Structure 1
Amino acid sequence: MEIKNVQIPFTLFRQLVSYHLLDDYSCSDEICKGLEEKMDHLVNRQLYTQSKTAATEEEREKARKEYLDKKGISENFRW
């Protein structure tokens, strides 16, 4: 698997530095929230990419449905 770079907001980076290097645990809730949001964005992007580039039509359709479910798009508004 190819290792890729991930960008995070500067404020989250600063909070991570404070937490790990300065032992400032006051922002642990914000760090958890920021990392969860980033993971959600990464998963959504991966599903979207799979919905466009998967090898078979079945895989593309499965990824498309999962992506739309995660985004909260109701069945009535799907094509």
Structure 2
Amino acid sequence: MKNIMISSELFGKIIKYHLLDQKREAEDIRKGLEKKLDTMANRELYSKYKTAPTEEEREKSRQEYLDRKGIPESFRW
């Protein structure tokens, strides 16, 4: 299993939410975790793009990565 790092600020909010019962942190926690998940997905697609065994798989991963990053079709090579 891989380790995943989060910011100390997000970790502090999670601690407050669970241990101190400060429920007002819930929305910030949700946004922070969603941002982390997006970052992880982008990194996985980029890694696939760089290490895929075939040219078709590399191109597919590259297109998915650029789509997720919001790069317009007209700006791509």
Letter in 2 for 1:67: Y
Shift >4 Å, 4+ stretches: none
Q: In the TM superposition, what are the counterparts of 1:64-79 in structure 2 within 5 Å?
A: 64-79=62-77
The CA distance in 2 between the partners of 1:51 and 1:69, in whole Å, is: 13
The letter of the residue matching 1:74 is P
How many residues align? The count is 77
Normalised by the length of structure 1, the TM-score is 0.93
TM-score, normalised with respect to structure 2: 0.95
1:21-55 deviation per Cα after TM superposition (whole angstroms, max 9, x unaligned):
12111110000000000000000000001001012
Mark the runs of 5 or more structure 1 residues left unpaired by the alignment: none
Unaligned runs of 5+ in 2: none
Report the identity percentage.
56
Aligned mates of 2:22, 2:52 — CA distance in 1? 44
RMSD after superposition: 0.7
Query: What is the match of residue 54 of structure 1?
Result: 52
In structure 2, distance between residues paired with 1:27 and 1:8: 16
Secondary structure in 2 matching 1:15:
helix
The residue identity in structure 1 corresponding to 2:22 is D
Question: Partner residue of 1:6?
Answer: 4
